[in-house]
Structure formats: C-alpha cells, structure tokens
Amino acid sequence: MIQSTAPLDSADSGQARRSDSPMPKKRRRRYAKSSILARGEPMVWLTGGSLVLCVGMIISLIALILYQGGTTFWPGKILSFKTVNGTVVQGEITRSSSVTYTPEIISGLDPKTKEKVEAEVAKGNKTGHRRLVRTGNFDLTNTHFEWIDNNSIQEEQEPEWLVLLERRSWGRFYGIPKALKRNDEVIAEGPEATWKAFQENHTEVYEGVERFIGVQKYDFGRIHKSLEKSRLRLKSIELEHGIESAEYREGQKKLQEETNATKSEEARLNEELALLKKKNSELTMTLVTAGGQEATVPLAEIVRGVASNQLNTSGRLGLYFERWWEFLFDDPREANSEGGIWPALVGTVIMTLLMSAAVVPFGILAALYLREYAKAGFVVSTIRIAINNLAGVPSIVFGVFGLGFFCYIVGSGIDEMFFQENLPNPTYGKGGVLWASATLALLTLPVVIVATEEAIAAVPGSMREGSYACGASKWQTIQRIVLPRALPGIMTGFILAMARGAGEVAPLMLVGVVKLAPELPIDSVAPFLHPERSFMHLGFHIYDVGFQSQNSEAAKPMVYTTTLLLISIIAGLNLVAIWVRGRLRRRFIKTEI
C-alpha cells in the first residue's frame, strides 16, 4: 500500500498542529498580548480618557466663570465685627480661606489675637480661618478690604440699619444713617426716618444729576461739534478757493453767525448747569462709620442706596437684576472698576461684525482661486506654506503691521486726499474701529482660507463632471454646484475666525482700542457708523480692570462678569452662524436626495 506524500491543506495542517503539537505557553501569552493591542483596547482608554480630561477642563473653566460672574451682583449681608482688641470692622464678606499658623504669621498678629492663636497652636490646632471683608469708605480709611481672622472676632452682628451706598466716586460707603439735611437744615433724624427721607428724595436728585451729565456730554458736545464742522468747512473753502475769494468771505460770515449763536446757547446751558448744580447739592446725608466717625455724603454722589440686612428674597432678586441692567447699559465709572460696560459691549460687537464682513469674502475668493483656478506649482505651494505659517504668527505682530500700514500709510493717504482741512489732526491716520477690524481680518484670514479649501475639496468630483457634461462653464459649476455644497464647511471656518478675532486683545491696543471712549463708533447721527473713531473692547476692558486697577481685589468680580459677558457674546454670534450652517446643510442634503 502506497502512502500519500501530498501535503496537508492549511486547515488540516492547522488542525494537526492544534491536536498534535500544542503551542508553548510562553508563545500563547505573547499572542494574547498582541491580540489585545490589535483590538486597540488600550488606545480606546487613552483617547477616551484624553477626551474626558479636555471636556472636564473646559467645563471647569466655564463653571468657574459662571459662578463668579453670576454671583457678582448678588447683594450679601453687611456684617459688623468687634475684635478682641476693641476695633470694629464693617462690610460685606467677599471670600474666605484657611490659614496655617506659622511663626511669621503669628508674629504679625495683634497681641490679644496672638495670645489666642498661640493657645490654639499649643493644643495642636495649627489651621485657622479668615475672611476678607470689603470695608469700603476709601476716602476715610485709604483701604478697600481687610482680612479678619476668626480668632480675633469677639462679636459678630448684622445691624439692621447698616447700609451700603454705591457712589459715583470713591467707591462704596458703609455706615448707619444719622440725619438727612437740606442746606444744613435737618429734615430727618435717626436711622429709620433718615433712610425713609433718602428714598423719597434720591430719585429726584438722581434724575437731576443725570440731566447735569447729559447737558455736559450731549448738549455741549452737539453745539461744539456743529461749530467745529463750520470751522472745517471754512478751512476747506480756503484750501480750494483761497482766502481772497467770495466763497471764503461768505463762509466766514456764516461761521461768525454760528459762533454767536453757539455763545448764546452756551450761556443758556451754563445757566441751566448752575441751577442743576445748586439744586443737586442741597441734600446731604450724615452717616456713622464703623469707628464712630461721622461722614457727610451728598445725595448727588449716590448712585444707589441698599439696606441689605432688611431685604427679603424678592428684594434681593430685584436688586440683582437692577445691577445687571446697570452693568449692561450704563457707562463705566471709577476707572472702569464700577458702573457699566455699554461702550465696550457696542465696540466689541461692531468690530467683530466689521471684521467678519471683511475676512469672509476675501478668504473665500482666495481659497477659490487656489483650489479651482491656480495651477499646481512652486508659486502656489509657496503661497499655501505662507498661509499656514501666518496662522502661527503672534497676534502682536499683526498689530504692529496694522499700525504701520493701515494707520500710518493708508490712513494718512486718506487724510491727505479727503480730510486736508482736519490736518494736522488725523482722521483716519490713527487707530480706529475700521483699522482694528482690518487688522483682525488679516489675523483670521488663514483660518477662513484653509477651511474653505477643505470644504471645496470635499465636494465630490462627480458633481463637477455632471455639471460640465450638461454644458455648464467653470464659473457656473462653481457658483451653482461647488459653493452651495461647500457653504457648511465655509461657515465652520467663519465661526472659528469670528471666535478668535472677537477675543484678541494685543493687536487692538495698537490700532484703536482705548481705556475710555467718549463717543461710540455708532450713533443716531448720519452716517451712523463712524469707522474712524476709537472704541472700547471687552477683552481690553478685562485686561485694564484686572491689571491696571487701583485695587485688584475690588476689581476681581468685574473681571469675571465681563469675561462671562464676552463669552456669551461670542457664543451668541457662533450660535447664529451654526444655525445658518445647519439650515444650509439640511437644504443641500435634501437636494441631493
């Protein structure tokens, strides 16, 4: 009988190996390990863990900003602390912290508190707590805050008539009302009667002060602006026709008439200001501070008076939203550390919209040319490399470029051609919202170009070929086939560019943003939008309040609140863009189906 020598097939040989010669244990372990890696299970945990970490950091940041910014305007209790050494501290608790008693910290305590702390340390209690009290009354004490160690507190109270006054200058004031006077004549005395009289009279005084500010800011500004326009018109006639011309003499006559009318109007407004000032200064309130000192505060200096310890929940909610309204729609005061941020809010929105209107068309056109028309080669490759590198250039470099090119070259050229009568005072040859928007448009241009190119490249080639087969030209194909289907991706680039541009600060400090802008870049006077004006920006406002304020601790709540508002604005603009992108995506998906 002849035995077959034909080789076994792979299945039979594998079965034979499994049954006759089993795999060694060491080799089986290596195989098992490699199979786990092959399935990618460790990478699943690694990538998933990285995602959780990133999301956690973002949520933590947003939660911190929401909490700190959302609680800034909530009215807290006003407390009075009597310390073991006999002093009295009054104010609102802003934060608390634990402290570890070291010899250096103990040596800095007052004698009675030091003795108490040393006794606690001897028992093994080396950790204590302290609270930061916003004491206000800076014009009397030269301090805004004071740390109070719990071991130094002998008595803690919530006095019913301890009130808070939010002033136009010098910050907050804490005290107990004693008397209300009109021209040194007492019209109310005692905490309750004084506070009632204050509430009855403050609204009228507040309206008088607002009228006083309005006359100074708007009425005088209006007549002076009109007179300045007439003066510039006369100078323009001089440059065009000469000083000996009949046109110049006629313009000079009109200027003189307007000057006389302006002087008459100024005299009338000065009389009104004098009456308002006299009336507003009649009422004053005397209060007793924590140290027993009496202080007199004019009602004209008080923005708001709050008896926090008497407020119920509904009263606190009402005051909370009232403060938010003031924050959103009033002008800043006290070096931007108090009051509102309306000019910064308007400036941020206007600049972001102008930047978007500039960057999107140019970015789309540049991407279209690079993707659809330009032939691949050295020049196109160099341009793409340059665009990618521009995305990594520090933003301050764009600010220097914007200052040199837009302000000093383009702006100065515009002044020479169209605003000679204003020279040597520049109109466009200085920082303004227009040049700030153009600078940020250059900064965000690479983002739009790259995103648009990727969106155009993602359109299937079969659609282009079908369009060409139907007799459409290249531009018709781009216009009717490519661009509509690339719009969702283009909108993604627009969203990223808008979010980055709205939060930039460094370039703006060189090309138009200021600490306080007397005029908004948009108003109700033609041409309504004034692109040459300087403006305020929320990002710069955060920097200014957080790092340039007299007291960083007092400004910290405003930093968080302004940050919360800036994030909300960017999120709102992004949500609108995302909604448009979603509609475009649904529309063209249905079309293709």
Per-residue pLDDT of 233-286, as tens digits, reads 888 888 888 888 888 888 889 889 889 989 999 999 999 999 999 999 999 999
Q: What is the mean pLDDT of the chain?
A: 86
**Phi and psi at residue 312, in whole multiples of 5°?**
-90, -175
The Cα–Cα gap between 291 and 560 comes to: 32
CA distances from residue 30 to 18, 24, 27, 36 in whole angstroms, order as listed = 17, 10, 5, 10
The count of C-alpha atoms lying within 13 angstroms of the C-alpha of 6, restricted to the half-sphere facing its C-beta, is 6
Spacing of C-alpha 389 from chain mean position: 28
Per-residue pLDDT at 57 exceeds 50: yes
Q: State the fold for domain 78-160.
A: SH3 type barrels. (2.30.30)
Whether 292 has a pLDDT exceeding 50, the answer reads yes
Q: pLDDT tens across 399-444, in order? A: 999 999 999 999 999 999 988 888 888 999 999 999 999 999 999 9
> Greatest CA separation found in the chain?
139
- pLDDT > 70: what percent of the chain? 92
Distance CA 512, CA 533 (A): 8
Confidence band for 397, pLDDT divided at 50, 70 and 90: very high
| H/E element, 369 | none
Domain 342-592 has CATH 1.10.3720.10: yes
Q: In this predicted structure, what is the pLDDT of residue 226? A: 85
Domain map (residue ranges) of the chain: 78-160, 184-281, 342-592
CA angle 79, 84, 88 (to 5 degrees): 35
**Would you state the pLDDT for residue 242?**
86
pLDDT for the residue numbered 40: 62
pLDDT score, position 14 = 45
180 neighbors 188 (Cβ within 8 angstroms): yes
- pTM for the structure as a whole: 0.83
